[in-house]
Structure 1
Amino acid sequence: PLILLSLYFFVGLYHLLLFLRRPQEKYNFYFFIFCVFLAVYLFTRSATVFSVMENYIVIARWELFTLFWAISFIIFFIDQILVGYITKFVKAYTAFSISLGLLIWITPLAAQEDVLRIWQASAPIFLVYVLYRVPKATLQEFRSFRVENKRLVESIRLTLLWTVPGNILLGILISVGTATFDILDSVLWHTGIALTKYGFFVFVMGIATALANRFLTVHKQVEELNRTLEQKVEERTRELKETLDRVNALKVKQDGDYYLTSLLIKPLSVTKFNSHWVKGDSFIRQKTHFQFRKWQTEIGGDINIADTIELRGEKYIVFANADAMGKSIQGAGGALVFGVVLNAIIKRTHLVASAKNVTPEAWLESCFLELQQMFVSFDGSMLISAVVGLVHERSGALYYFNAEHPFPVLVRDQKAEFLHDEMQLRKIGIVEIESMFRVLTFQLKKNDILILGSDGRDDIIIQTEDGAHMNEDETLFLRHVEKANADLNKLYEVIAESGEITDDLSLLKISYLPETDKPIYANESHILSHLQSAKEKWKQNTDFREIGLKEIYKQIMEEGTGAHAFTEVIRFCLSVKKEEAASWALELAERALVEYPTQSELLYLAAVAAVYNGQYKKAIEFGETFRRRDPEHIRNLVNLADAYRKIGQKKRAMNILDKLLEMAPEDELVIKLKKVLTK
């Protein structure tokens, strides 16, 4: 008996330690109180108690007091672990039992028998509640297995052995049975047999089994995530939110939590990729530095990612520089979510064929929408700024979007300048910014360097004769880049020398180093001269076959030419309104986009040419790609809506028309499109 009593006491202490480590799990504290009182209660009922004290009255008081309080806290435990909170009924019954326990110490010995009788009369209420709460939770688990088309016997087995309510039910029933026997024995039979101590042993085993089942459930979920990559993003949305809620509940200054989080982020922030012509370099210096045991490390909300993907048989380097809102553990949580989602998208692109068969613009839009959906689910408590982009390895075409992040910097011929200087998007996670999305493009040349950096590059306290002030000059970073010759380590030193860095700082460098630069076509002026001659002949009503346009078309298809010549020839082919010339226009546009993929005007002309040739699906692809670059281009939207109409997708065409009516309700093309769609 003493061994069992010691076991109960130390099991209670173990749960007390769990509660001190995780105060939000209150059921551990209630279970600790229950174990201690039950151990004392059983000790007072053993013969050994008389070797400690001889006062029978004091022993009797302790026996009744611990019995009343132990029962109060076991139902507290059951409510907390199964429901998640303490119900009003349990609070009322507990107040009643605790009051009786306190009454024991102030009533005379003769009256204690009456107090015991009162509690015994209320005991059935406790039993009924326990036999209601635990089976109800178990029944819910049982029904979930039945919904999964499990057989009756199999569902019962899984419920009792593999769920928390089922495990507890087995232990509770035995414990309640033995406790009931002891109560009846003290009232009626007086045999002196105490079975509660053995019932409690079974109850403890039920709790241990429940905890083991929780561990196995988590393990199975991890295995399921590895097998179902397609569903990983949706599942991680829920799991990460739950994880971050738990992380936010911890003490944010505990070095152990900091260290664990920094370890989770490190494998996500990967910038090593294999490319012949594109090279990458990364630098991150988080603001918060700390020591955990023997390790010196840092934590913050900045993250760099770079990897390779393949889209339609072409190799691209995907890159991202992001800065999550908040300092230390809060920012690290946002960086962790961003890293998990983006790496999952990249991995899915590697593995799933349908994910590869998209344009760079479509891939970036899908990436943005998945990130946006994830961060919106946190209801504004987590935002992140980022630049995410793709570099086409063969051509050096750059595609990217900027969500309220510091402007990317281009270094060309040792001169640094911003790629753009206007904000395109708000931070990821702000509601209803999807309509603002657009893909920016740029054509990199040989030896061009792209440098991205978080706002730590500008958040510098500069000392002057007038005192310290925060830097407000964004162009200061351009001068720093030039001074450091685009070397990231030197760049950090230059920034640090200029003043005190007050925020996390991350820098990402993408260098385009092809063996040769894009060719300059010597025939462009010759083609433009011939094109001008063809235009003049056409104005003079010369026969279409005699103006020389076909010869220009053939020369370009054989030799290629500059982007300007491509554009002018395609426009003229469309303007003559001849079926043969329209087919030339489409072939020229497709050829031009291979050589000049960032020329957005060529995309628009390709979409128009595809409509002229009756190739509406191709027109939609060109038009949607152009829309992702310029969502407010009226003529493209009109052409796109017309293409959707002609393949029978009138609903999509009407959606585009609604947007056009908001943008340009008096435009002639919009009015004409409205008449056609509303016939």
Structure 2
Amino acid sequence: PAQSTIHYLIRVRTTGALNLFLRAWDREAFQQAVVREQIAEGLYFGIMLAMLIYNLFVYFGVHEISYLYYSVFLVFFFFMQLAVNGMGYQYLWSAWPGFSDYGVPVFTYSAVFSALLFTRSFINTPRLLPRLNRLIDVLLVLAAAGLLFLLVRYLLGAYVIVVLSNIAAVISIAAVIIISIVALFRNSRAARFYLIGWAGLLCGVLVTVFRNTGLLPAFFFSDYSLHIGSIALVMLLSLGLIDTINQMRRKLQSYSTDLEQQVSERTADLNSSLNEVRSLKRQQDGDYYLTSLLIRPLNTYAQGSEKVHVQSLLRQYKKFQFRDRESDLGGDVCIAQEIMLCEKKYTVFLNGDAMGKSMQGAGGALVLGSVFTAIIERARIGEVRRQSPERWLKNAFIELDHVFQCFDGSMLVSVVMGLLEENTGFLCLINAEHPATVLFRSDKASFLGVEHTYTKLGSGIRHGNIQIYTTNLKPGDVIILGSDGRDDLRMQSDDASSHPESLNEQTIDRIDESQPWINHDETLFLRVVEEARGDLDSIEQLLRRTGEITDDLSLMRIAYDEPAAKQETIRSEQVKSHDEAYYQRYRELFERAKEHGSKRDYDTAIDLLKQAERVMPENLNVLKSLARVLFHTKNYGAAGEYAWRTLERSPAENDFLYMDSYCRRKSGDLNGAIESGERLR
């Protein structure tokens, strides 16, 4: 009835938290209030769901772990709100009514746990706030323990569990706010959004508490303060994440700009360095070119002999280009000149290899060539022309060694040098740690003078022990000199197997090896010379076919009386067809002289030999026999004369060189004795 008062008694019994507001509504007002509430709840949960989906998409795009923690937090916070206002039970878990008592604490603890993980990642507390990071670890343990307490809910009761979850939430919010404040003082840009967001949520919680206790009247803001605070939290945390991403982008842009600037500066520096290197390279190539111009005149041969023919091949390993001019540079040198010694014409030759690469080797070659050329020029004037070939060669070798000793071991040179007399084919050689000289005779190649080898020039040779190797070349003989580039070939198994004529046991053992190897068989060059028949161009081609040349290559070919080889054969035939009676007379006198000599009838033997000399004046056997018989009779003057005539015909006869020296000493010609002794030594 109108103007009456009705009293209602309501008893409420619950095991959990319950918001109970009693208000009398008329039907129309109640319907309007329900519509407004549903619209507000729809907007609220729509915003929360939209932010959740947005952050998940961002996480899958950038793979930043903070977005994952934040998305997990939004999920649990979303379901916690559904559990608090009853919409979760109404729409989601109505079939499990018992879950309504524990849904709020489950989602509360889960939201707290994920919020703490998000805080640690977002503010980077391990690096920025290591001490407060330990507080987060403690709270994480407590949140995990709260979830475990739900398993023993029958011991504690739903009410206690809800209270404990609320306490955990309040403590965690307070801890997060404290961490945000400290981080803000540490100039953390992310802490600003974090502090404002959690402060907004805390304000919403406080307004709700005040409204529930009657300290604040019920109106829109007080009714939806928790919704407004949580939306503010979600929005501000999302803005904080966006700001973090933008900050990272700005840093990346700054780094990119700085990197571009650094790349530009580095490119400019590299271009400057490259230009400087090119300038230095041009200067270096200029130095190379000038040095090659200085060395080039030294590698020449003044051809003037009809019997001695010299050819050379020089392939320096260092190739370069200077002002469109291609050239090469190295430490090899080939020199051949003609000089007169003791009124006989000699071809003096030298093949050297200065140690070191490029400029160092070229410097050694320049010194070697210049000094040796000066020694040759000095031999064309003055008393030097009266020296014996052995004496001159030994003195030249000693002088070269003295020059290179001045460099204190920093410049060493291997060399082979010698003299070849054009009339008799007398050859004298000296070798300073250079590849052995090759004699090519009758289509066979062999080494010459391998037992007379000394250390490199500049290494300190004992000059008193130097011996000269001597021999006589026959018409048609060819000697080949070469640097170690002829032996230092980089071999491949397929290269060696394709040239079986270049193999021996040493190389066959290495055919199966896949790695390149340097040839160590010096006899390989002998087989190459034989196959090339002593021709330099063919030798070079065969060497390149056999392996890769890894060093300077220089070759010298010295042929003695090559065109006269056939003439010698013809002359021998003419001698055989000489007047038989005339030749028989010579043989009869020579055999009778040998018979009387064996009986020590030296006077008769001398008389018979002189008769044989008149028959064949230049016969070498007669000259040798006369020298020996006269030496036995102590007729040193005559014996020395015949010994000297023997040496003129065959300069390599060391026995008669000793006899000449001895006879000169006995005859009082001490200077002549010393000269012959020096030649022998």
> 1:509 is matched by which residue type in structure 2?
R
Mapped pair 1:404 → 2:440: no
Q: CA deviation at 1:496?
A: 0.7
Q: CA deviation at 1:561?
A: 5.5
Distance between the aligned counterparts of 1:451 and 1:557, measured in 2?
40
Q: Tell me the equivalent position of 2:546.
A: 498
2:641 to 587, 602, 609: 587
1:424 to 453, 468, 471: 453
Distance between the aligned counterparts of 2:518 and 2:558, measured in 1?
29
List gaps (5 residues or longer) in structure 2: 1-279, 494-511, 576-582
> 1:466 is matched by which residue type in structure 2?
E
Q: Tell me the equivalent position of 2:266.
A: none
Question: Is the Cα–Cα contact under 8 Å of residues 442 and 598 in structure 1 kept in the other structure?
Answer: yes
Q: Tell me the equivalent position of 1:488.
A: 536
1:582-641 per-residue CA deviation (whole Å, 9 max, x = no partner) reads 3331221111111111111110111222234343332222222112xxxxxxxxxxxxxx
Question: Is the Cα–Cα contact under 8 Å of residues 430 and 452 in structure 2 kept in the other structure?
Answer: no
Distance between the aligned counterparts of 2:390 and 2:422, measured in 1?
16
Question: Is the Cα–Cα contact under 8 Å of residues 302 and 505 in structure 1 kept in the other structure?
Answer: yes
Q: Tell me the equivalent position of 2:328.
A: 298
Question: Is the Cα–Cα contact under 8 Å of residues 425 and 436 in structure 1 kept in the other structure?
Answer: no
Q: Tell me the equivalent position of 1:571.
A: 628
Distance between the aligned counterparts of 1:405 and 1:525, measured in 2?
46
> 2:423 is matched by which residue type in structure 1?
R
Q: CA deviation at 1:272?
A: 3.5
2:557 to 491, 509, 520: 509
1:183-235 per-residue CA deviation (whole Å, 9 max, x = no partner) reads xxxxxxxxxxxxxxxxxxxxxxxxxxxxxxxxxxxxxxxxxxxxxxxxxxxxx
486-495 or 548-557: bigger deviation: 548-557
Distance between the aligned counterparts of 2:464 and 2:669, measured in 1?
28
Q: Tell me the equivalent position of 2:20.
A: none
Instruction: Give the match's secondary structure for 1:445.
Output: coil
Match runs of 1:58-69 below 5 Å: none
- The TM-score, its normalising length taken from structure 2, stands at 0.51
2:483 to 449, 454, 465: 454
Distance between the aligned counterparts of 2:540 and 2:335, measured in 1?
19
Distance between the aligned counterparts of 2:283 and 2:530, measured in 1?
38
Q: CA deviation at 1:252?
A: 12
Mapped pair 1:415 → 2:477: no
Q: CA deviation at 1:423?
A: 4.7
List gaps (5 residues or longer) in structure 1: 1-249, 628-679
Structure 1 pair 462–613 and aligned structure 2 pair: CA distance change class (3 A): same
Percent of aligned positions with the same letter in both sequences?
Answer: 41
Q: Tell me the equivalent position of 2:413.
A: 384
Instruction: Give the match's secondary structure for 2:454.
Output: coil
Distance between the aligned counterparts of 2:513 and 2:621, measured in 1?
53
Instruction: Give the match's secondary structure for 2:520.
Output: coil
Distance between the aligned counterparts of 2:388 and 2:517, measured in 1?
46
2:517 to 469, 475, 482: 469
Q: CA deviation at 1:353?
A: 2.4
Mapped pair 1:348 → 2:396: no
Q: How many residues align?
A: 369
Q: CA deviation at 1:338?
A: 0.3
Question: Is the Cα–Cα contact under 8 Å of residues 409 and 418 in structure 1 kept in the other structure?
Answer: yes
1:104-155 per-residue CA deviation (whole Å, 9 max, x = no partner) reads xxxxxxxxxxxxxxxxxxxxxxxxxxxxxxxxxxxxxxxxxxxxxxxxxxxx
Q: CA deviation at 1:564?
A: 5.2
Match runs of 1:178-217 below 5 Å: none
Match runs of 1:219-298 below 5 Å: 254-298=284-328
Structure 1 pair 442–318 and aligned structure 2 pair: CA distance change class (3 A): same
1:607 to 661, 672, 675: 661
2:345 to 294, 311, 315: 315
Question: Is the Cα–Cα contact under 8 Å of residues 282 and 322 in structure 2 kept in the other structure?
Answer: no
475-484 or 618-627: bigger deviation: 618-627
Q: CA deviation at 1:424?
A: 2.1
Instruction: Give the match's secondary structure for 1:273.
Output: coil
2:677 to 619, 623, 628: 623
Q: CA deviation at 1:449?
A: 0.8
Distance between the aligned counterparts of 2:337 and 2:376, measured in 1?
8
Structure 1 pair 302–532 and aligned structure 2 pair: CA distance change class (3 A): same
Question: Is the Cα–Cα contact under 8 Å of residues 534 and 549 in structure 1 kept in the other structure?
Answer: no
Structure 1 pair 284–526 and aligned structure 2 pair: CA distance change class (3 A): farther
Distance between the aligned counterparts of 1:355 and 1:418, measured in 2?
31
Question: Is the Cα–Cα contact under 8 Å of residues 285 and 321 in structure 2 kept in the other structure?
Answer: yes
> 2:591 is matched by which residue type in structure 1?
S
Match runs of 1:16-35 below 5 Å: none
Distance between the aligned counterparts of 2:472 and 2:591, measured in 1?
26
Question: Is the Cα–Cα contact under 8 Å of residues 330 and 362 in structure 2 kept in the other structure?
Answer: yes
1:535 to 573, 594, 597: 597
Distance between the aligned counterparts of 1:433 and 1:617, measured in 2?
24
Q: CA deviation at 1:471?
A: 0.9
Q: CA deviation at 1:576?
A: 3.1
- The TM-score, its normalising length taken from structure 1, stands at 0.51
> 2:628 is matched by which residue type in structure 1?
R
Question: Is the Cα–Cα contact under 8 Å of residues 531 and 569 in structure 1 kept in the other structure?
Answer: no
Structure 1 pair 312–400 and aligned structure 2 pair: CA distance change class (3 A): same
1 or 2 for the larger relative contact order (CA 8 Å, sep ≥6)? 2
Q: Tell me the equivalent position of 2:354.
A: 324
Question: Is the Cα–Cα contact under 8 Å of residues 346 and 421 in structure 2 kept in the other structure?
Answer: yes
Q: Tell me the equivalent position of 1:205.
A: none
Question: Is the Cα–Cα contact under 8 Å of residues 590 and 608 in structure 2 kept in the other structure?
Answer: no
> 1:532 is matched by which residue type in structure 2?
K
Q: CA deviation at 1:387?
A: 0.9
> 1:295 is matched by which residue type in structure 2?
R
Q: Tell me the equivalent position of 1:238.
A: none
Q: Tell me the equivalent position of 1:549.
A: 606
Q: CA deviation at 1:508?
A: 0.4
Structure 1 pair 269–362 and aligned structure 2 pair: CA distance change class (3 A): same
1:69-96 per-residue CA deviation (whole Å, 9 max, x = no partner) reads xxxxxxxxxxxxxxxxxxxxxxxxxxxx
Distance between the aligned counterparts of 2:353 and 2:377, measured in 1?
22
